[in-house]
Structure 1
Amino acid sequence: MPTTNAEYRTAKNLTHARLATLLPCSESLIGSVERGTRLPTEQFTRQLERALGLGGELLELLPGIRSVSPKWFRKWPAIEEAAQTIRTYELGLIPGLLQTEAYARAVFMGEPGAVPGEVEKAVKARLRRQAIIHRPNPPALSFILDESAILRRIGGREAMREQLGKLLALMDRSCITVRIVPLSSGSTAGLIGSFVIAQDDDTYAAFLENTENGEVTHQADMLRKLNQRWELLSGLAQATYVSREIIQRVVES
């Protein structure tokens, strides 16, 4: 089942040019929304649904993302959906695209002032993002995790066991690689924090987050620096088969 603007469009065999005449709008606007460089408005989404003959599928996603995500994050899900490759480095957590429901819930409940009702909305929005892994044409997803991310017991013993089991299962998919930077590496280029780099053809974007804020950026200088960090971390990360053994040992312990 289609899950993004681009997938619904291609399912109808519509080009950017043809869809632009149906809305009507510019081809560049459609391209920007699909690449995630421009956030669709509710009005645009309603027009898009009418043109594609949908019954609320895209509108259902729009308020969910907006209601539970901080303003600086709202551009990212669309970028993530349009990306052909996504490279993620995580220092202390299992990345959102790989999280189980229980693990995600425990992460959100750890936030100051967490409200159960809002936590559940946030969990559902996070799980919806994972649809890109299971679509017929998933992006190439490469994850480098600091070993501390798999050692931190979030949500309790059973929740963590389930999470690591899912991680191992996802590593069997051809579109996903997971590699571990061992604690024995000492000081690394990743200690400053986590980041994600997404690429769609020749368009790059990055997502950075800290304790109280975050940033989605297309700045060439920032992307260059993050790519340098990625290469340094990639040099420290263990091969996938060794990383699998590291994760399995944590599960067994």
Structure 2
Amino acid sequence: MAGSPTARRRRLSIELKKLREKNSMTCAQVGAALDWSGSKVNRMETGSGRVQPSDVEALCRFYETTDELREFLKSLARQAKTRGWWQVHGSGVPEWFSIYIGLEQDASTLRQYQSEVLPGLLQTEPYVRELHTCGSYMPPADIDRAVQVRLERQAMLSGSGAPDCWFIVSEGALRRVIGDRALMRTQLEHVLEAMEKPSMTLQVLPFDAGTCPTTGPFTMLGFPDPEDPDIVYRDGITDAMYLEGEPHVREYTRAFDELRASALSPRRTIQLINNVVKEHTR
């Protein structure tokens, strides 16, 4: 069973939608039969609202599911109401990003392209703090919380359960000086250390790579349970976009494959990063 509350809520919504579609009914029809609104059923199936175990009980009895499935879905509903470790940081984690962290915690594969900055899971504390401080209107306490959350997220990269991560980073993100050269030298040395992990692959997309997909930064998350489909995440300054479904995943998979083919090999990426480190040492 998926581990984080976010993943449980997502799995529950997927299962409820499958049950309705199996019975060839609309949200409005199910809502009318249970004396609910159709919008309530829709919210339950999209994960945009809390689902009570009593609601799951009513739906399962209406759909005439097995006792085992009913108890499983009720368990998901109960566990989906628990709080993730990142939620104790309050305003340091916006709600739209809290959803992503929950999904990230349960991912078994992570494919990410970054064009402006280095991947968050590979950032050092000074680098993270500089990003949050420059041009930010967040109170200092919220900046501290945001930095702490990003650093705590990195714990998922250690241990036997670490997801298989593949990062593609533009050369501009590699060479852009965040803070000062000493900070960047330490940051890039940290990236080199991270690349020694067996679950980690990183490639740099060089300036002379030519025309590549202009999708902007994105992340594709894959999950160990085949019942949990892949999801594409794109973040902005104040919100995020989550894309599901085979057409979206297919297009972003194609874009990632094209970026990967145009990027330097991991070995040449290491050589380039070492050269940039030397430039910051002079």
Cross-structure match for 2:252: 226
| Greater mean deviation of Cα atoms: 123-132 or 75-84 | 75-84
Distance in 2, Cα, partners of 1:152 & 1:29: 49
Q: Does 2:248 correspond to 1:248?
A: no
Distance in 1, Cα, partners of 2:212 & 2:222: 24
TM-score by length of 1: 0.76
Q: How many residues align?
A: 211
Q: Which runs of 4+ in 1 moved over 4 A?
A: 29-34
CA contact under 8 A between 2:109 and 2:223: conserved in structure 1? yes
Q: Does 2:215 correspond to 1:186?
A: no
TM-score by length of 2: 0.68
Distance in 1, Cα, partners of 2:71 & 2:278: 55
1:36-78, CA deviations, whole angstroms, 9 ceiling, x for partnerless residues?
xxxx43xx34xxxxxxxxxxxx5x53222x4222222221112
Q: Does 2:218 correspond to 1:195?
A: yes
Cross-structure match for 1:134: 158
Matches within 5 A, 1:1-253: 26-28=71-73, 40-41=80-81, 44-45=82-83, 60-64=85-89, 66-189=90-213, 191-201=214-224, 202=226, 203-253=229-279
The AA in structure 2 aligned to 1:62 is Q
Distance in 1, Cα, partners of 2:154 & 2:77: 22
- The alpha-carbon deviation at position 115 of structure 1 amounts to 2.5
For structure 1, which runs of at least 5 residues remain unmatched after alignment? Answer: 7-19, 35-39, 46-57
Q: Percent identity?
A: 25
Question: Larger Rg: 1 or 2?
Answer: 2
Q: Secondary structure at the match of 2:276?
A: helix
1:29–1:188 CA distance, 2 compared to 1 (3 A):
farther
Cross-structure match for 1:48: none
Distance in 2, Cα, partners of 1:93 & 1:33: 38
CA contact under 8 A between 2:221 and 2:230: conserved in structure 1? yes
For structure 2, which runs of at least 5 residues remain unmatched after alignment? Answer: 6-52, 54-69
CA contact under 8 A between 1:73 and 1:215: conserved in structure 2? no
The AA in structure 1 aligned to 2:86 is L
* Aligned-residue CA RMSD (Å): 2.4
Distance in 2, Cα, partners of 1:230 & 1:33: 37
1:237–1:120 CA distance, 2 compared to 1 (3 A):
same
